């Protein structure tokens, strides 16, 4: 099956500027293509994975993707999808983010020699204002730019000249990559259509109408309940393990709705059509086993964090399920309870009732005693029903942490100092 047919089956294509022409090019020879990301922060989140998974698919099909880190465009700010003007970052912030994102991309895609990582600052830094206006700005009609959705949606609120020129800079990227590396296809989110077509128009004006260049966008991904994919109660799900731990990352995918899991298997894994169809049947016939969710969590976590992270996440999940918390390592405790309420306690022994108040597990001594007697309190996974119990905070987890639990799901963490 060719790459475009596969992408269509996976529901990964929203728009293509010239589908017959792109299909012919791919049938005749491998092509070079690109997708960009601006360094607005030090880490990508899972929403960024959607277009970059396409880069990996094209590479595995024998093509040559370029990943563009926007050291130049990130200094300007893309107005796409924003109702207000973006706050500009300092040059130092942009450069720090470029370094962090480059490292992240190398970890994700460095093993695939077909994929190249480049920075658009390298070909933009020596472009003078006069050259920019004379050689490139002259080819952009303001009326056409105003009609682009990315600009039109901002006219009521206002848009600065800085953000207005963003599409010219992105078009310049496509032109440069086409001329230097024979890049023929730009891939982006649905909100990038106007920027992508601006690049195609510039190439056609400067190189020639017959130059075979194309644009492809991916659909906006929504969950079955209509909300935006990738957001949780705690915020974005990051690829940086310091911001979202591998265990949290695994659990995010494992907890997906039955209505969404097959769609995500198509988008975010490299499982075959037959494997996904088989998992789809299991969702219908034995949904309680969560085989599809497990396959999704295992495959995406391995792609982002490696196989060891998958094994670790599954081990932690099993220990939590059996309430066998004492077998967790200190580092695993940090992973699991990364986002739970955290306090600091002294190394000396504590009366259990006082400890629960200090850790804000309970709001009163009366309620603490009642919950202890009712068997609702566990310390490091062990149920304690003695209100006079003395707790040694250094008895587990290398003396670094103590975990209090109220009921089945309420966990609280204390750092021992």
Q: Which two tokens stand for residue 409?
A: 């799901």
Distance set, CA 242 to CA 42, 237, 338, 339 (Å): 11, 11, 9, 11
Give the helix/strand (H/E) hosting 186: strand 183-189
Could you tell me which residues come within 8 angstroms of residue 156 by beta carbon, excluding any fewer than 6 positions away?
A: none
Choice between 229 and 379, residue whose per-residue pLDDT is larger: 379
In 185-245, where does DSSP find H-type helix?
193-206
Q: Which fold has domain 231-322?
A: Tyrosyl-Transfer RNA Synthetase (1.10.240)
CA dihedral 153, 158, 162, 164 (to 10 degrees): 30
170 labelled binding-site residue: yes
334 labelled binding-site residue: no
Q: For CA atoms 27, 32, 37, 43, give the dihedral sign.
A: positive
Give the helix/strand (H/E) hosting 414: strand 410-416
Cα first-last separation, the chain: 59
Choice between 230 and 7, residue whose per-residue pLDDT is larger: 7
Choice between 334 and 55, residue whose per-residue pLDDT is larger: 55
Looking at residue 1, its pLDDT comes to 73
CA distance 105 to 99: 10
CA distance 343 to 324: 22
231 labelled binding-site residue: yes
Looking at residue 311, its pLDDT comes to 94
CA distance 206 to 306: 44
Give the helix/strand (H/E) hosting 262: helix 258-268
Largest Cα–Cα distance in the chain? 84
Assign 223 a pLDDT band (cuts: 50, 70, 90). confident
Looking at residue 231, its pLDDT comes to 61
Q: Is the CB of residue 132 less than 8 Å from the CB of residue 121?
A: no
Name the least confident of 111-115, 198-202, 373-377, 380-384: 111-115
Mean predicted lDDT score pLDDT of the chain: 90
Q: Which CATH number is associated with domain 3-218? A: 3.40.50.620
**Structure letter (DSSP) for residue 137:** G
CA distance 334 to 397: 10
The residues spanned by each domain of the chain are 3-218, 231-322, 342-416
Looking at residue 141, its pLDDT comes to 84
Dump pLDDT digits (tens) for 168-194. 999 999 999 999 999 999 999 988 998
Helix orientation angle between 246-254 and 307-321, rounded to the nearest 10 degrees: 70
Dump pLDDT digits (tens) for 358-408. 999 999 999 999 999 999 999 998 999 999 999 998 888 998 999 999 988
263 labelled binding-site residue: no
CA distance 14 to 187: 11
pLDDT (mean) for 337-354: 88
Assign 84 a pLDDT band (cuts: 50, 70, 90). confident
Class of residue 46 by CB neighbours under 10 A (exposed 0-12, middle 13-18, buried 19+): buried
CA distance 387 to 409: 21
Q: Is the predicted pLDDT of residue 234 greater than 70, yes or no?
A: no
Q: Under CATH, to which class is 342-416 assigned? A: alpha beta
Looking at residue 150, its pLDDT comes to 75
Q: Which two tokens stand for residue 53?
A: 């998974």
Looking at residue 401, its pLDDT comes to 92
Dump pLDDT digits (tens) for 117-170. 999 999 999 999 999 999 998 998 888 888 877 777 777 777 788 888 889 999
Class of residue 234 by CB neighbours under 10 A (exposed 0-12, middle 13-18, buried 19+): exposed
Nearest in space to 249 (alpha carbons), one of 11, 42, 35, 49: 49
Dump pLDDT digits (tens) for 248-288. 999 999 999 999 999 999 999 999 999 999 999 999 999 99
CA distance 93 to 161: 22
Other C-beta atoms closer than 10 Å to the C-beta of 127 total 15
Q: Is the predicted pLDDT of residue 50 greater than 90, yes or no?
A: no
pLDDT (mean) for 44-55: 90
Assign 93 a pLDDT band (cuts: 50, 70, 90). very high
Question: Model-level pTM?
Answer: 0.87
Looking at residue 180, its pLDDT comes to 95
Assign 81 a pLDDT band (cuts: 50, 70, 90). low
Strand ranges of the sheet holding 116-119, from the earlier edge strand across to the other edge: 15-16, 214-218, 183-189, 32-37, 64-69, 116-119
Per cent of the chain over pLDDT 70 is 98
């Amino acid at each position: 099956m060719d790459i475009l047919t596969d992408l269509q089956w996976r529901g990964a294509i929203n728009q293509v500027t010239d589908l017959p022409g792109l299909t012919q090019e791919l049938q005749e020879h491998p092509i070079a293509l690109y997708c960009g990301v601006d360094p607005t922060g030090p880490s990508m989140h899972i929403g960024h994975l959607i277009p970059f998974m396409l880069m990996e698919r094209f590479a595995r099909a024998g093509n040559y993707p370029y990943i563009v880190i926007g050291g130049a465009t990130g200094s300007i700010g893309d107005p796409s999808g924003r109702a207000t003007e973006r706050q500009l970052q300092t040059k130092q912030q942009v450069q720090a983010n470029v370094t962090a994102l480059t490292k992240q991309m190398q970890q994700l895609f460095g093993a695939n020699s077909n994929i190249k990582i480049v920075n658009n600052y390298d070909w933009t830094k020596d472009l003078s204002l006069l050259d920019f206006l004379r050689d490139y700005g002259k080819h952009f009609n303001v009326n056409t730019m105003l009609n682009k959705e990315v600009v039109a949606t901002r006219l009521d609120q206002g848009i600065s000249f800085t953000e207005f020129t963003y599409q010219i800079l992105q078009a310049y990227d496509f032109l440069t990559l086409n001329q230097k590396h024979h890049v023929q296809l730009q891939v982006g989110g649905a909100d990038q259509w106007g920027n992508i077509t601006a690049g195609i128009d510039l190439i056609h004006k400067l190189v020639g109408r017959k130059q075979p260049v194309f644009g492809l966008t991916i659909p906006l991904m929504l969950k079955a309940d209509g909300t935006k994919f990738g957001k949780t109660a705690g915020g974005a799900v990051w690829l940086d393990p310091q911001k979202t731990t591998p265990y949290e990352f695994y659990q995010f995918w494992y907890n997906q709705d039955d209505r969404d899991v097959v769609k995500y298997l198509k988008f975010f894994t490299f499982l075959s059509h037959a494997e996904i169809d088989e998992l789809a049947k299991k969702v219908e016939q034995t949904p309680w086993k969560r085989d599809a969710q497990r396959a999704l969590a295992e495959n995406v976590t391995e792609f982002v964090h490696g196989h060891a992270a998958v094994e670790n996440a599954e081990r932690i999940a099993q220990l939590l399920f059996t309430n066998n918390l004492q077998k967790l390592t200190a580092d695993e405790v940090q992973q699991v309870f990364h986002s739970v309420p955290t306090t600091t306690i002294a190394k000396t022994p504590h009366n259990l009732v006082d400890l629960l108040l200090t850790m804000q597990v309970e709001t009163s001594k009366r309620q603490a005693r009642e919950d202890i007697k009712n068997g609702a309190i566990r310390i490091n996974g062990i149920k304690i029903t003695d209100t006079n119990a003395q707790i040694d905070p250094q008895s587990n987890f290398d003396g670094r942490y103590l975990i209090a639990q109220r009921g089945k799901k309420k966990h609280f963490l204390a750092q021992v100092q």
